[in-house]
């Protein structure tokens, strides 16, 4: 698989480390009343879709950026690659 | 029809005209006591033990494709019980005991060959870890022998013992481990279940679950609606897809594991050998082909194929361990999709929906578990209590902190 890095251009997926579903960006607030339930869902439960999947890849053997890659889990086709930082900022986070 | 050597001779002399199909092809009825979703090894074993042990015969097994078209025909056929944790080891030992009597039990030749499994160690700490594991195995009633380098040399002399980086210091040897002809397992269980009245329905895809007020009353399928008192999902690899029909999210990601077969060679690998410094395992089939594999590819996928970097990684592991296989040509490779769970251990449990049961999360260890998985799932379906060897394989174990994390990797499915 080739990942089209937004800054570095097309890179071999072997340069990256895979973490999992991009929802892992949204770490729950640990100080709310049902924090333990939120963290259970955050840490352990997955949508695991067959089809388009937004997922986190870390460019370990490159610029060490975290990317959000949109990839089809049925065909391995990659349709979109964004910097995870940009995705988090677009969701209203400050970093 | 009972198979026997005498029957083969008789049929051979009379033109092989007396053989009948091993199972029927019934039309689905509208109502069953138990509907098993998934006609793979585990689903068929569940149906077989439900009928044979518990006398529950009003059962249908629904299979999307043909029998054995999933992971029961895509694995590397290894059986073993060299686990360590109390939540796992008794279960896998039960499985190995069931394998040992399986062919007589279901009257089918599954070519079970207990040639042993050897886990190599390459450092002193690794040997200590294997001693601990071996003791855990002995305590559960399994067999284990800790070998030194000379002991390994006697078993398998053609490895790179004095490798500068990963010298072979010894290994953990389970003599009762081995390999099985995987398709025959599906066929044997299917035949045994069918004989006892179970309907095996192929080309029947489940497209929806009927759930009303928290009670599952049946399934929608490509061949119409089928009502059931109990719906037992058993589709490891596709668990995410099927359970999403019931609105459930699982502690599971789907990943692909690749496997490889070389051209046929003269006998060189005594049983199953695993490399302790990388992820590589190998055995030799009865036809002489080297059957081997290694790590999963490591990203979510439902495609039954992997990518080349993993192929390279597996072959490098093989070359580091036994350079003599470098000239063997690869005949074929394939990928199977598996449920990678959050702690590397499986689930055999009820769900929060009454009448809906779940069996999955087998990671890449589902094949060896086939008999015990069927045995324990049938026990759960018939009695509504977990079997004594599967009491910890629960869906809520992450919520209450009772993980069965054999490798100690944490909630990172692609590291298990």
Cα distance between residue B291 and residue B285, in whole Å: 7
Contacts of A18 in chain B (CB under 8 A): 298-299, 414
Taking a C-beta distance cutoff of 8 angstroms, is the pair A67, A59 a contact? yes
Note the pLDDT of residue A92: 87
Helical (H) or strand (E) element with A82: strand A78-83
- The dihedral through the CA atoms of B74, B79, B80, B84 has a sign that is positive
Q: B8-20 burial by CB neighbour count: b if 16+ within 10 A, else e? A: eeeeeeeeeeeee
- The full 3-state SS of A15-37, as one line of letters, equals HCEEEEEHHHHCCCCCCCCCHHH
3-state secondary structure of B180: coil
Name the residue facing B301 among A14, A40, A76 (closest C-beta): A76
Instruction: State the complex-level ipTM.
Output: 0.95
Q: Check whether A95 has a pLDDT greater than 80.
A: no
pLDDT (mean) for B1-30? 95
CB within 8 Å: A18 and B251:
no
Note the pLDDT of residue A93: 86
Tokens found for residue B56: 């529950």
Residue B290 forms beta bridges with which residues?
B284
Q: Where are the domains of chain A?
A: 2-25+43-90
Residue A70 forms beta bridges with which residues?
A54, A80
CB within 8 Å: B342 and A44:
yes
Tokens found for residue B193: 């279940």
B246-293 pLDDT tens trace: 999 999 999 999 999 999 999 999 999 999 999 999 999 999 999 999
- The dihedral through the CA atoms of B84, B86, B88, B93 has a sign that is positive
- Average model confidence (pLDDT) across chain A: 95
Supply the CATH classification number for the domain A2-25+43-90.
3.30.2270.10
Question: Among all residues of chain B, which has the CA nearest to that of A69?
Answer: B299
CB within 8 Å: B303 and A76:
yes
Name the residue facing B398 among A20, A44, A53 (closest C-beta): A44
Cα distance between residue B248 and residue B376, in whole Å: 22
CB within 8 Å: B299 and A12:
no
Q: Check whether B120 has a pLDDT greater than 90.
A: yes
User: Helix, strand, coil proportions of chain A in percent (round to 5)?
Assistant: 25, 35, 40
Shortest CA distance to A7 belongs to which of A77, A64, A87? A64
Cα distance between residue B76 and residue B89, in whole Å: 21
B332-377 pLDDT tens trace: 999 999 999 999 999 999 999 999 999 999 999 999 999 999 999 9
Q: Check whether B131 has a pLDDT greater than 90.
A: yes
């Amino acid at each position: 698989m080739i990942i089209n890095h937004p800054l570095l251009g097309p890179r071999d997926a072997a340069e990256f480390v895979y973490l999992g579903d991009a929802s892992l960006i949204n770490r729950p607030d640990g100080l709310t009343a049902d924090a333990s339930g939120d963290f259970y869902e955050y840490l352990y439960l997955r949508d695991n879709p067959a089809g388009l999947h937004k997922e986190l890849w870390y460019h370990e053997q490159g610029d060490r950026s975290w990317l959000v890659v949109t990839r089809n889990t049925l065909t391995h086709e990659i349709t979109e690659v964004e910097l995870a930082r940009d995705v988090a900022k677009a969701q209203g986070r400050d970093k | 029809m009972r198979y026997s050597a005498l029957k083969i001779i008789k049929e051979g002399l009379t033109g092989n005209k007396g053989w009948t199909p091993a199972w029927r092809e019934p039309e689905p009825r509208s109502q069953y006591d138990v509907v098993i979703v998934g006609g793979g090894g585990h689903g068929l074993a569940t149906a077989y033990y439900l009928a044979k042990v518990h006398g529950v015969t009003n059962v249908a097994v629904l299979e999307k494709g043909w029998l054995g078209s999933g992971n029961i025909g895509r694995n590397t056929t290894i059986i073993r019980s060299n686990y360590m944790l109390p939540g796992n080891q008794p279960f896998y030992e039960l499985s190995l005991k069931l394998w040992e009597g399986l062919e007589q039990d279901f009257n089918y030749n599954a070519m079970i060959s207990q040639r042993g499994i050897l886990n190599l160690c390459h450092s002193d700490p690794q040997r200590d870890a294997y001693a601990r594991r071996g003791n855990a195995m002995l305590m559960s009633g399994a067999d284990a022998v800790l070998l030194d380098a000379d002991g390994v040399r006697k078993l398998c002399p053609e490895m790179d013992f004095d490798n500068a980086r990963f010298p072979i210091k010894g290994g953990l040897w389970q003599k009762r481990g081995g390999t099985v002809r995987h398709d025959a397992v599906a066929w044997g269980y299917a035949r045994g279940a069918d004989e006892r009245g179970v309907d095996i329905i192929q080309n029947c895809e489940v497209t929806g679950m009927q759930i009303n007020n928290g009670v599952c009353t049946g399934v929608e399928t490509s061949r119409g609606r089928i009502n059931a008192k109990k719906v037992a999902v058993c589709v490891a690899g596709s668990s995410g897809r099927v359970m999403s029909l019931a609105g459930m999210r699982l502690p599971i990601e789907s990943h692909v594991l690749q496997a490889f077969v070389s051209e046929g060679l003269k006998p060189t690998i005594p049983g199953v050998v695993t490399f302790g410094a990388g992820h590589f395992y190998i055995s030799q089939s009865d036809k002489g082909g080297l059957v081997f594999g290694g790590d999963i590819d490591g990203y979510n996928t439902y495609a039954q194929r992997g990518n080349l970097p993993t192929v390279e990684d597996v072959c490098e592991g093989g070359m580091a361990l036994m350079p003599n296989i470098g000239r063997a040509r690869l005949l074929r490779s394939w990928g199977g999709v598996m449920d990678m769970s959050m702690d590397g251990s499986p689930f055999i449990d009820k769900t929060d929906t009454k009448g809906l049961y779940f069996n999955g999360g087998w990671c890449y260890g589902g094949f060896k578990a086939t008999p015990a998985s069927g045995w324990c799932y049938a026990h759960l379906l018939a009695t509504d209590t977990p079997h004594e060897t599967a009491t910890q394989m629960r869906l809520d174990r992450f919520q209450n902190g009772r993980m069965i994390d054999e490798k100690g990797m944490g909630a990172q499915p692609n590291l298990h």
